[in-house]
Amino acid sequence: MTTNSGEPKAPRAARDMHPISDEKPFLHIPETVSKEAQDFLRTLKDPVYRCRLPRPPCRELRLTRCTTPCWGAFVRVNAKLNLPFALAFLGFCSTAIPLHAQASLDLTSGRRDVLYAQSDFLRAMDEAWFEPFSPSQPSVNPLLDTPGLNLPADTRPNDQPPMPPTNPPTSSIIPVNPQDVQARSETRFRWGPAFNESLLFTGIMHTFNLATEAGTRDTLNGHWFQDYIDSVSELRGWSDSDHFMAPYVGHPIEGSIFGFIQRQNDPMYRLVQWGDGRGYWISMLRSMAYSAVWHTQWKIGPLSEASIGNVMLHASPGFITLVDTPTLGFCTTLAEDAADRYVIMGLENRTSNRTIIILARSFLNPGRTFANLMAFRPPWVRDTRLNLFGENYEIRKQLLEDYKDGSGEKPFQFVKNAWMPPGVEFVHPHPKEADIELTAFPYYESFLGGGSCIGGGGTGAARVNPKWQLVTEVSGCLVMHMPYYNYSADSLFYGGGLRWTPMADRRFSPFAQLLFGGRKVTFEIMDNALREQLLKEWNDGNGTLPHYPKRSDYSFETAQNGPSIAVGGGFDVIVTRPFAWRVLNLEYTRSWMNDVAMVHPQEGLKISTQAVVRIGTW
């Protein structure tokens, strides 16, 4: 719903409350709230979300329900609501109803797998906030005491005396996954474990290369630093001479693995699932950034293919994997999350066979599986559902039996933001113009002097105002139709500029842009017969040639680098707030350089279609 001005309209409950002034809101914190909660509430920063705070329960009444109505003050809550007391605080935010402080929680309705996962949190929240105001209450197992849920007798714990309200929940509650409890207790990204897991994965990839490539083993001898610098300096063009499977299947899975390593070490977004809205997309962007950093390290970093294998001295050193590993890895992660929700969860609603579930979880989510292994966890583990052994498995079987005989609901169903207590309403209007746009694209360029090339690239754009963006681009292509099979050429463009977007808040958004930077064109002739002869002379280190032959030993190369501009435009179609399709981008390119052998890069026409990730609109 929007107003006449086009801005999102606040929900009715929010409009009926008192307006927020420009002054920092005053928040009264009762002395009875624990010191940890008081410290957290005092650190709340500038507004991101608006939340209605109910009055704490009445001290003078020892009733099971507080009769004092909510008051209309607003407080401002920082977006990183990841502390347990932050969740507790949000749990008592409501729209326009009295707070039922000690009302019994209705566990007879709703999805029981979700109730199972939330039971510990709800009880801990109640103890943390209401212990000073309410008498002691016995521990309750929300699963075992729920009418209509018949669990096996051996899963029911022994009766225990009532627990004092100041003590944490004990074994009278069936334990949830320890990873869940750990995630609630943490507040910051776990840099140490994430670094160790990423380093372990990098080491496994290097071990595979050393075991299967004699040339990589040979590069361990010699002048390490000089060879490393020479290898990085060879980076150019687009292609890296690999076949389809490596750049378009293997590297996207690598990007997905790094992305899942980031997610499982990020307490704020560890439990997100496909369909969780804004939180899910924020998590995906964080994962993509983490993946981009670690793949760049793998490609040209101090512990990289360039430093350990000197790969770019022996193979075509293109930019392709630097672009497609994080971007196609982003798409691979999306596909794995969608498969987990729609395919794997659907399978788990039909069978409790452990072997089938383990195989489905492991092979339909390869990135998540390998990330679990890097953390020394079972590859099939899921933090968002009951696992497959012990009491969890017995509960899983009982839920499935109840569903099949018609006495229970479907055991596993997606619930958006299931970790969040009910009654929370977020009011966070977002502009329709994206603050940041990230794109990945294939393109075709025709040189007006003759010749053409096919490649891909990526761009990043930051919005200056509703009609202007600052843009950067890196793209490269492989020149086609060379006269001989051992001839090759490639082009690399790098630059930045301005983009005009007069209708960025519309579903159909035309644009025009001007980029200026540089272009590098490289031409190479490879002597394949000489290469085979040198490999025989080297003979896996046992021949007369002292080292594995470098690319420069059997090829001739020439290159030119000069200033370049690209001017053009196109139009976007907004698919959803997070995504757009740049249906057409047509540009004229002009480069100030001479011919490079038979390549004429001075003028060209470039056409592309692009996938756009829009940040700041959700």
- The encoded tokens of residue 118 equal 């939330």
Band of residue 208 on the pLDDT scale cut at 50, 70, 90: very high
d(CA 541, CA 555): 21
Does pLDDT of 252 surpass 80? yes
Selecting from 2.40.160.20, 3.40.720.10, 3.40.50.2300, 1.10.3720.10, what CATH number does the domain 436-615 have?
2.40.160.20
pLDDT tens figures, 332-383: 999 999 999 999 999 999 999 999 999 999 999 999 999 999 999 999 999 8
Query: What is the Cα 461 distance to its own chain's centre?
Result: 19
Q: pLDDT tens digit string along 533-558? A: 998 888 877 888 888 888 888 888 88
Q: Is the pLDDT assigned to residue 36 strictly greater than 80?
A: no
Neighbours of 100 (CB within 10 A): 16
pLDDT, tens only, 213-229: 888 888 888 788 888 99
| Beta strands at 452-465 and 468-479: parallel, antiparallel or unpaired | antiparallel
Q: Among candidates 97, 76, 82, 84, which has minimal Cα distance to 427?
A: 76
Tell me the CA distances in angstroms from 253 to 217, 322, 324, 344, 587, one per residue in order. 25, 14, 11, 19, 32
Please count the CA atoms within 13 angstroms of the CA of 134 that sit on its side-chain side.
23
What pLDDT was estimated at residue 216? 86
Looking at residue 360, its pLDDT comes to: 96
Alpha carbon distance 411, 395 (integer Å): 10
Beta bridge partners of 49: 77
**What residues does each domain of the chain span?**
1-149, 189-385, 436-615
Coil/strand/helix, residue 488: strand
Q: What is the 3-state secondary structure (H, E, C) of 172-204?
A: CCCCCCHHHHHHHHCCCCCHHHHHHHHHHHHHH
- What is the distance between the alpha carbons of residues 122 and 177, in angstroms, rounded to a whole number? 16
pLDDT exceeds 50 at position 212:
yes
In sequence order, the β-bridge partners of residue 604 are 447, 589
Q: What is the pLDDT of residue 295?
A: 94
3-state SS record for 267-306? CCCCCCCCCCCHHHHHHHHHHHHHHHHHHHHHHHCCCCHH
Secondary structure class of 80 (helix, strand, coil): coil
In 3D space, the residue among 246, 281, 242, 236 whose CA is nearest the CA of residue 263 turns out to be: 281
Which carries the bigger pLDDT value, residue 596 or residue 54? 596
Rounded distance between C-alpha atoms, residue 546 and residue 57, angstroms: 82
pLDDT confidence bin for 426, thresholds 50/70/90: low
Contact assessment for residue 440 and residue 455, using Cβ atoms and an 8 Å cutoff:
no
What SS3 state is found at 471?
strand
Q: What local confidence, expressed as pLDDT, does residue 34 receive?
A: 56
Q: What is the pLDDT of residue 233?
A: 83
The set of residues, in sequence order, having a beta carbon less than 8 Å from that of 346 and lying 6+ positions away, is none
User: In the chain, pLDDT over 70 holds for what percent of residues?
Assistant: 67
Determine the Cα–Cα distance for residues 26 and 272; give it in Å rounded to an integer.
33
Question: What is each CA distance from 467 to 201, 302, 506, in whole angstroms?
Answer: 43, 41, 12
- CA angle, 430 as apex, 427 and 431 as ends, to 5°? 155
pLDDT at 132 over 70: no
- Cβ atoms of 25 and 50 within 8 Å: the answer is no
Label residue 166 exposed, middle or buried (CB < 10 Å: 0-12, 13-18, 19+). exposed
Is residue 542 within 8 A of residue 556, CB to CB? The reply is no
407: Cβ–Cβ under 8 A, 6 or more apart, which residues? Answer: 148
pLDDT of 204 strictly over 70: yes
- CB-CB contact of 116 with 143 (8 Å): yes
In this prediction, what percent of the chain has a pLDDT beyond 90?
38
pLDDT digits (tens, 9 = 90+) for 523-535: 989 998 998 999 8
* Pick from 141-155, 284-298, 589-603: least confident: 141-155
Residue 55, exposed/middle/buried by CB under 10 A (0-12, 13-18, 19+)?
middle
Long-range contacts formed by 538-545: CB under 8 A, 24+ apart: 538/218, 540/214, 541/214, 541/217, 541/218
Question: What pLDDT is recorded for position 373?
Answer: 96
Query: Distance between CA atoms of 438 and 571, rounded to whole angstroms?
Result: 15
Query: What pLDDT score was predicted for residue 101?
Result: 33
Place of tokens 């280190």: 541
Q: What is the pLDDT of residues 156-173, one digit of tens each?
A: 444 444 444 444 443 333
> Is the model's pLDDT at 39 over the cut of 70?
no
Q: Which residue has the higher pLDDT, 49 or 408?
A: 408
Residue 84 is predicted with a pLDDT of 42
Q: Extract the tokens encoding 174.
A: 């069936």
Q: Is the distance from CB of 517 to CB of 495 less than 8 angstroms?
A: yes
Phi, psi of 309 (to 5 degrees): -105, -10
Q: How many CA atoms lie within 13 A of 472 on its CB side?
A: 3
**pLDDT score, position 425:** 53
More confident residue, 463 or 219: 463
Per-residue pLDDT of 273-330, as tens digits, reads 988 888 888 899 899 999 999 999 999 999 999 999 888 888 777 778 888 899 889 9
pLDDT, position 427: 56
The secondary structure of 393-459 as a DSSP string is HHHHHHHHHHHHTTSS--S----TTTTSPTT--------SS-SEEEEEEEEEEEETTS-EEEEEEEE
